[in-house]
Amino acid sequence: MNGLKRNVSRLFSNRGKLFVLAMDHAQCGLVEGLERPCDIISARAQSGLDGFLVNVGVAEIMEEKLLDKKILLRTSSGGTALGDSFTNVHVNHVSPETAFRMGVDAAVMMLIMGGDDYKSAQQTACDIDAFHRYNIPVIVEILANDFEITQSYDIQANGARVAAELGADVVKAFYTDNFESVVANCPAPIILAGGPKGTDIFEIAAKAVNCGIKGFAFGRNLFLNENAEKDIKMFNEILRGK
């Protein structure tokens, strides 16, 4: 087994699954609930979470007591919420050397589907290769050029397969109708990014697990949640069983 495979395996060291709190949203600007990210991380340090998905600035200042938690580093950015091209321009701004120095467990980047997506696909493929030279696992999240259709079957199914074909070790996908087909047609393990607005996230999580996903990467469902500790336990039961 080579170093990359070992590191990918370690992502799923907790009974074969991965559950992280996604906190990378604020790279686009102010986000309700993420005003004090380090306070949130400290408050959840003893929870059932396996780790955290954060931007490089937050990762640099995380407390040493969190060394037992996995750190997924968001390496790409899509501009700010005040810009004109937030969803269809995502470029990696963190080098593999920086990620390696920080000792992160995985890099997370975006693949944009639709429009001039050859630009995103080619750049994502190059960046995956660059991180793999350092044996750093790469998680690719699927977005649509038209953000409104991101949580559609065509975007997620095609995006997940393309990401895997380009070398992604894990795919971060949104729940859609016919989600079992999204999972079945993706050679890489999938972790769930979330479900359509207005749906019961616990129901969506259970359905996704039944479809064969390997983890959760939930954000607002947890950092805007006053009952986060209780819900983390419930999500863990859904993901790993009692």
pLDDT tens per residue, range 124-156: 999 999 999 999 999 999 999 998 999 999 999
| Assigned CATH class of 3-240 | alpha beta
Q: Give pTM, 2 decimals.
A: 0.95
Residue 146: strand, helix, or coil: coil
pLDDT value, residue 1: 56
Give the model's confidence band at 83: pLDDT under 50 very low, under 70 low, under 90 confident, else very high.
confident
pLDDT value, residue 240: 96
Residue 212 in this model has a pLDDT that exceeds 60: yes
Q: Are 20 and 49 in contact (CB under 8 A)?
A: yes
As a whole number, the mean pLDDT across the chain is: 92
Stated as kind and residue range, the H or E segment containing 220 is: helix 220-223
Nearest in space to 43 (alpha carbons), one of 221, 205, 232: 232
pLDDT, tens only, 33-70: 888 998 889 889 889 999 999 999 999 888 665 778 99
pLDDT value, residue 142: 97
Please state, as a whole number, how many other Cβ atoms lie within 10 Å of the Cβ of residue 190. Answer: 24
Give the model's confidence band at 216: pLDDT under 50 very low, under 70 low, under 90 confident, else very high.
very high
pLDDT value, residue 220: 87
Between CA 51 and CA 163 the distance in angstroms is 23
Q: Are 124 and 109 in contact (CB under 8 A)?
A: yes
pLDDT value, residue 112: 95
Residue 84 in this model has a pLDDT that exceeds 70: yes
pLDDT value, residue 213: 98
Burial of 202 (0-12, 13-18, 19+ CB in 10 A): middle
